[in-house]
Structures are given as structure tokens and as C-alpha cells.
Amino acid sequence: MLSTNFHTPVMLREVLDYLNLKPGKTIVDATLGTAGHSKEILGRILPGGGLIGIDRDEDSLSVARQRLNEFGSAVKLIRGNFVDLDTLLSDLKVDKVDGFLFDLGISTFQLQNAGRGFSFQSEGPLDMRMDKDSYISAYDLVNNLNEDELSTLLWNFGEERWHSRIARFLVKERQKQPIATTIELANIVSKSIPSRYRCRHYRIHPATRTFQAVRIAVNRELEILETAVNKAILALREKGRICVISFHSLEDRVIKFAFRKAEAAGLINILTPKPQTPTQSEVEVNPASRSSKFRSAERL
């Protein structure tokens, strides 16, 4: 049965405006998810246009397939990693496109599925794999990296202030028994932060940055992001647009510097010198949008 727990598309107005959509255009949604953005995009590129949706999560693809079924042959959906988008487009015999959308991070659909292990708010296996066929899970990293490696991971991918202390607690606790669930990990992280700081300095759950860091490492999110964006820029037609929505400073930094390098090389014109952020009204309606940042550029 089709799930109704759809991910509300973030910064939808900005996406639709900056992609400069018109009938006949070909757009690639490189992070299709449950097709919230894509459904709206299709309404603006038909007749004559087409959408290519890429996602490595088969569960999300299954939902998107049902939601976009009404658009028939105008939609091509592919299970794959956006870092391989050049190969995926070549397989479709597509050379150039008019636009790319990257909506990064985790979706509500994935967060609400406790069995995927992305959320510290519900009990689930310590998994966090976007692609369930991937070899390495969160369980593997949390239970097998040494203390220094864990500490480095938490700082590099989560900018977690208490990275050393959390790593020490994790190693100590897993000596008793493996850390197997999301709640176990969240509780250990919470206990590792001194109580006098826990409430005063954490406007978000104390485990938020740890879960972010582990998820990024499991899925190699930052490692593949710059490569994917560079490939997308090269696949754009003249005047084609690329739009990227990020949800934390690490992602936004990668996009900012990738755009700057491409602009310096004469490939693009940056349309958003500073990232745009959601309006207060959008945050009130969709709190998940509060940390989002939007950047866009046009191919020269």
C-alpha cells in the first residue's frame, strides 16, 4: 500500500523558480526520494519534457514510482548513486539536460521507518544505509572503529564538540555488549555529555550530531558529493541550471567551493552568491526545513 508519510518538499518555490522550468525541458532529480519536488517539476515541463529520477533507496523509489505513475513515459526512474550520474545518463543515451536538483540529507519517509535505523527517536537496528545492499552499516562503524577513529569521525562529519568523550564512552559500553540499536546509541551519547552542558547548550537532541556523523560516514555522503556536482555541471546544456539544497554546514561548504571552482573555470555563473534560506512561514509549516540552505548556478 502506498505510504502517506511523504517527505514535504523543502524550499519548493525556490527550486521551481531557479530551475527555470518550461515545457519540453529535461530535468534530473538526483535525489528523488518520494518525488515531492519531482511531481511539481513534471507539472511545469509537460508536454514534451521529461524527468529522470535517481535514488539508491529502493523503498523510496517504490513510493515515487506509484506517485509518478500518472506521468507515464515522461518519467524514467533509476536505482543508483548520484555519483554515477554520468554513467546512468549514458546508459539512457542522454548527453545533456536542462537542470539538476540535489535535495541532500535524510527524508521524513526514511526517518519514520524505524527499521532503517536513521532516527534516535524510535527503537530500531543500528543501520543507516541509504542503499540496503551496501556492505557497511552504522553497527559496523560504531562497534569496530577504535576510539581515535570514532573521535575523528564524530568531529569530521558531525562537528561534535564532545567527540573524544563520546568515543571513549562508546568503546567502554561496547566492551560489555555490542551497541545494536538506535536507542542504545542515543542513550550512551546522552550520558557521555556532562549534565551541566546537556540542557544548557543543546537546543537539539544531544545525539543529533553523532547520528549525522555516523550516517554521513556509512553512506560516504561528503566523499561523493563534490564529484557528483561536478559531473552534473558538465552534463548541463548552455543556460541549464543546477539547484542544491543542503542541511548542514559540511554539505553547504562542499557545494560552495565546488561552485566557486566551476565559476573560476568559466563553466557556470553562480546565481546565489549567498545561500538562500527558508522563509519563516515555511519553517512554521514544515519544521524540517529550518536548517536548509539553497544554492543555484547556471551553465555558461
Tell me: do 99 and 24 sit in the same domain.
yes
| Burial profile 180-219: b = 16 or more Cβ within 10 angstroms, e = fewer | ebbbbbbbbbbebbeeeeeeeeeeeebbbbbbbbbbbbbb
**What does pTM read for this prediction?**
0.90
Q: 3-class DSSP state for residue 252?
A: helix
How many folded domains does the chain comprise?
Answer: 2
pLDDT, residue 64, reads 93
Distances, alpha carbon 95 to alpha carbons 58, 82, 87, in Å? 26, 16, 10
| Count of H-run helices and E-run strands, the chain | 14, 7
On whether residue 178 sits in a domain, the answer given is: yes
pLDDT, residue 120, reads 83
* CATH number of the domain where residue 275 is located: 3.40.50.150
CB 211 within 8 A of CB 221: no
Domain limit, last residue, from 219, 247, 262: 219
pLDDT, residue 128, reads 93
Determine the Cα–Cα distance for residues 13 and 71; give it in Å rounded to an integer.
21
On whether residue 166 sits in a domain, the answer given is: yes
CB 31 within 8 A of CB 104: yes
On whether residue 192 sits in a domain, the answer given is: yes
Q: Alpha helix (H) ranges present in the chain?
A: 12-18, 36-45, 58-67, 85-91, 108-111, 138-144, 147-158, 163-174, 182-192, 195-198, 208-219, 221-234, 249-264, 280-285
Tell me: do 214 and 228 sit in the same domain.
no
* CATH number of the domain where residue 169 is located: 1.10.150.170
Residue with cell 537542470: 99
Q: Alpha helix (H) ranges present in 133-180?
A: 138-144, 147-158, 163-174
pLDDT, residue 231, reads 97
Tell me: do 103 and 228 sit in the same domain.
yes
Peptide bond into 23 cis (omega under 30): no
Mean pLDDT by 10 residues, the chain (300 residues): 62 96 97 93 96 93 94 95 96 96 82 80 90 91 97 95 96 96 95 73 78 94 94 98 95 96 98 94 87 96
On whether residue 38 sits in a domain, the answer given is: yes
Tell me: do 207 and 150 sit in the same domain.
yes
pLDDT, residue 288, reads 81
On whether residue 3 sits in a domain, the answer given is: no
Domain limit, last residue, from 188, 219, 250: 219
Q: If we measure between CA atoms, which residue out of 95, 96, 98, 49 comes closest to residue 76?
A: 49
Tell me: do 186 and 200 sit in the same domain.
yes
Tell me: do 48 and 120 sit in the same domain.
no
Tell me: do 85 and 139 sit in the same domain.
no
Q: Are strands 236-246 and 293-299 parallel, antiparallel or unpaired?
A: antiparallel
Tell me: do 213 and 124 sit in the same domain.
yes
Tell me: do 157 and 284 sit in the same domain.
no
Tell me: do 235 and 92 sit in the same domain.
yes
pLDDT, residue 25, reads 98
Determine the Cα–Cα distance for residues 182 and 220; give it in Å rounded to an integer.
20
Q: If we measure between CA atoms, which residue out of 132, 129, 131, 174 comes closest to residue 150?
A: 174
On whether residue 4 sits in a domain, the answer given is: no
Stated as kind and residue range, the H or E segment containing 103 is strand 97-103
Tell me: do 196 and 149 sit in the same domain.
yes
Determine the Cα–Cα distance for residues 212 and 106; give it in Å rounded to an integer.
9
On whether residue 1 sits in a domain, the answer given is: no
Identify the DSSP state of 181: B
Determine the Cα–Cα distance for residues 273 and 270; give it in Å rounded to an integer.
6
Q: If we measure between CA atoms, which residue out of 283, 294, 208 comes closest to residue 8?
A: 283
On whether residue 75 sits in a domain, the answer given is: yes
- Domain hosting 213: range is 114-219
Q: Is the dihedral of CA 59, 60, 61, 65 positive or negative?
A: positive
Tell me: do 188 and 279 sit in the same domain.
no
Burial classification of residue 269, based on how many CB atoms lie within 10 Å of its CB (0-12 exposed, 13-18 middle, 19 or more buried): middle
Q: If we measure between CA atoms, which residue out of 229, 254, 244 comes closest to residue 156?
A: 254
Distances, alpha carbon 76 to alpha carbons 2, 130, 237, 277, in Å? 19, 20, 19, 30
